[in-house]
Amino acid sequence: MTLSRIDETFSVSGQIHETDIQAIKDAGFRAIICNRPDGEGVDQPTFNEIDKAAKKAGIETSYLPIVSGKVSDEDAAAFDKILNELPGPVLAYCRTGTRSTTLWSLSQAIHRSLPDILMATKAAGYDMAGVVRRITNGGKTPTEKGDFNFEIVIAGAGAGGIATAASLKARKPDLEIAIVDPADIHYYQPGWTMVGGGIFRAEQTSRTMGSLIPNGVRWIKAAVAAFEPENNAVILDGCRVVKYKRLIVCPGIKLDWNKVDGLVDTLGQNGVTSNYRYDLAPYTWELVEAMQQGRAIFTQPPMPIKCAGAPQKAMYLSGDAWHRRSVLKNIDIQFNNAGGVLFGVKDYVPALMKYVEKYNAKLNFSHNLVAVDGPAKKAWFDVSKPDTPIERIEMEFDMMHVCPPQTAPDFIRVSPLQMPLVGLTLIRPHCVTKAMTMSGHWVML
């Protein structure tokens, strides 16, 4: 018997036997659900036999037999009800665990996001791609057929999506293009550096999405939930289907603020700021303007990040403001970079170094921000140098500008578009990373 943990309250397994019950009890389970119909296999104990042994061990049971490949919407609803009634943690089993995992995935569709469900089941060794449409439809079998069909579908209407749509339309005006994006507002993110530097107002960096969608391009105002490259289809939240001949995927990158302990609790106060958020960039300038003396730390996480220059640009613009106000000599600027060089393209480094020297900034490479205590004005960095164990150091600050750790959006991470990649191009200076997946779809991050 192999138990596969889906989350802290639910696990699945293949067929169990009476002799497994003690181990199941010892593992802390308080209830068992059987999803395998009696008599499916010749060496299979009946539910009654399992039930008797479980009851003897003080474990509750429930029988919801499912014929292989035939999990109905009613079955999923019944499973949800049973899960709510039984004491946890619960172990569900069938022949291999797939039916139990499918039931759990469908039952959770109204409680959790699709990426959460797919990540949990994938980590347990079960691929739920076959029921993605039903999960996006709240656990129910969709009744509508695909209602959209375009030559080009672009997922994401940020800088990448809008620019690609405009460029394609300019070259080939009769192309049928759809852009899928749920956002009402489009942000010009490079402008946030200027907001943090006191040059732009935040409002100057936002436009309504509708005003930027190129003429003749259809805007589908919805989020892409999943991809079905084998059917040339994307599935939207709510389970509408959009078919395409070519798909371009540019949903941006996820800012992983929670990866730094204590950061979320203190962002926007206690001197902790970030130009990576529209609402926080004005706070950067507020801090810079108010600062007369003390220590200012600027952080950069491990790659990949969008705009490798933005963490430094915050530092240079702050240094410039302090220089103009003649307070620079009182300010200790520290640039704590998880990477090992000032900039990945070495030709740019000499020019940047002139400003590092001008503002007397101390460069601390291999310093990765891992925790912050805003009220105490302290931050912790893991310092990793070759051939030496990682050392955690503490630094005090008066102001800290944080560039957050970044990662692929959840719905991309669990999708069939993920690696392996066959081509990878970094287009400079626009900081757009373009990669072609095995299935021939373009992904821009």
Ligand X SMILES: Cc1cc2nc3c(=O)[nH]c(=O)nc-3n(C[C@H](O)[C@H](O)[C@H](O)COP(=O)(O)OP(=O)(O)OC[C@H]3O[C@@H](n4cnc5c(N)ncnc54)[C@H](O)[C@@H]3O)c2cc1C
CB of 445 closer than 8 Å to CB of 408:
yes
430 belongs to the binding site for ligand X (CB under 6 A): yes
Cα-trace Rg, the chain = 27
Q: Give the integer Cα–Cα distance in Å for 386 and 432.
A: 30
Cα 432 from Cα 248, distance rounded (Å): 13
Q: Which of 247, 264, 265, 248 is nearest to 256 (CA)?
A: 264
Site string for ligand X, 142-161 (x = CB under 6 A): -------------xxxxxxx
If we measure between CA atoms, which residue out of 153, 173, 166, 146 comes closest to residue 250?
A: 153
Query: CA 205 from chain center: how many Å?
Result: 24
CB of 179 to ligand X, least distance (A): 8
Report 389-428 residues binding ligand X (CB under 6 A). 409, 411
Give CA 189 to chain center in angstroms.
Answer: 19
DSSP state of 345: S
Of 141-149, 184-192, 296-304, 380-388: span binding ligand X (CB under 6 A): 184-192
Q: Considering beta carbons, is residue 85 or 279 the nearer one to ligand X? A: 279
Q: How far is the CB of 245 from ligand X (least distance, A)?
A: 19
- Which range binds ligand X by CB under 6 A, 69-77, 121-129, 415-423, 430-438? 430-438
Q: Give yes or no for residue 284 binding ligand X (CB under 6 A).
A: no
Residue 274 · residue 180 · CB < 8 Å: no
Taking the complex as a whole, how short is the minimal distance between the CB of residue 163 and ligand X, in angstroms? 8
Residue 192 makes contact with ligand X by CB under 6 A: yes
Of 62 and 406, nearer to ligand X (C-beta) is 406
Among 23, 27, 110, 183, binds ligand X (CB under 6 A): 183
**How far apart (Å, rounded) are the C-alpha atoms in residues 296 and 272?**
10
* Residue 273 token pair: 């700021």
Examine residue 381 and tell whether it contacts ligand X (CB under 6 A).
no
Gap between the Cα atoms of 141 and 106, Å rounded: 10
Q: What is the phi/psi pair of residue 83, to 5°?
A: -60, -40
Among 21, 33, 250, 402, binds ligand X (CB under 6 A): 250
Of 216-235, binders to ligand X (CB under 6 A) are 223-224
Which x/- pattern over 98-137 shows residues binding ligand X (rule: CB under 6 A)? ----------------------------------------
DSSP β-ladder status, 432-437 and 442-444: antiparallel
The residues of the shown chain that bind ligand X, judged by CB under 6 A, are 155-161, 180-183, 189-190, 192-193, 223-224, 250-252, 275-276, 306-307, 309-310, 409, 411, 429-432, 444
